[in-house]
């Protein structure tokens, strides 16, 4: 989805800084213009990491262009991949041996987790160490 990002133009001594009117408190920076889209995606993912809230829709650029807080620099419309932001859970069907399910359930109960919570945590640990 295309989101407006206000870019404070950098120079040889200062990175370009991205401000997100739709995500208060979220910002990004990159030394090169070509690096801004990736830095912006990463900043949005970090901003919404673990947040239960939904991602707001983008504000139309024409509503922001004349805003007094955003004068003197430039706007970019950046395609934010919302599928990479933790959103609503996805139901899936997996098959495991019955004794393994019993072990998972016992462990999850003992650690105040749900089966889904345990499996998600185990998968994250396996992928990220």
For 48-98, give the DSSP string.
HTT--SPPPPPPPHHHHTT-TTS-SSEEEEEE--GGGS--S---------H
Q: Are residues 19 and 65 in the same domain?
A: yes
pTM above 0.75, yes or no: no
Q: Are residues 19 and 45 in the same domain?
A: yes
Distances (CA, A) of 50 to 32, 54, 87, 108: 29, 11, 9, 20
Q: Are residues 112 and 78 in the same domain?
A: no
Q: Are residues 13 and 66 in the same domain?
A: yes
Query: Using one digit for the tens of pLDDT, what is the confidence trace for 15-71?
Result: 999 999 999 999 999 999 999 999 999 999 888 887 666 788 999 999 998 999 999
Q: Are residues 17 and 72 in the same domain?
A: yes
The verdict on residue 48 lying in a domain is yes
pLDDT at 75 over 90: yes
Domain with 76, as residue range(s), is 2-84
pLDDT at 88 over 70: no
Q: Are residues 79 and 29 in the same domain?
A: yes
Mean pLDDT in residue range 96-105: 94
- CATH number of the domain bearing residue 18: 3.30.160.250
Q: Are residues 52 and 110 in the same domain?
A: no
């Amino acid at each position: 989805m295309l989101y407006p990002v206000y870019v404070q133009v950098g120079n040889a001594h200062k990175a370009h800084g991205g401000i997100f009117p739709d995500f208060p408190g979220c910002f990004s920076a990159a030394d090169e213009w070509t690096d801004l889209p990736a830095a912006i995606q990463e900043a949005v993912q970090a901003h919404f990491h673990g947040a239960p809230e939904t991602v707001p829709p983008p504000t139309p650029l024409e509503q922001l262009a004349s805003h007094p807080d955003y004068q003197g620099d430039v706007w970019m419309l950046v395609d934010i991949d919302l599928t990479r932001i933790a959103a609503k859970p996805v139901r899936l069907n997996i098959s495991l041996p019955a004794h393994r399910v019993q072990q998972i359930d016992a462990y999850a109960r003992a650690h105040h987790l749900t089966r889904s919570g345990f499996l998600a945590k185990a998968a994250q640990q396996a992928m990220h160490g």
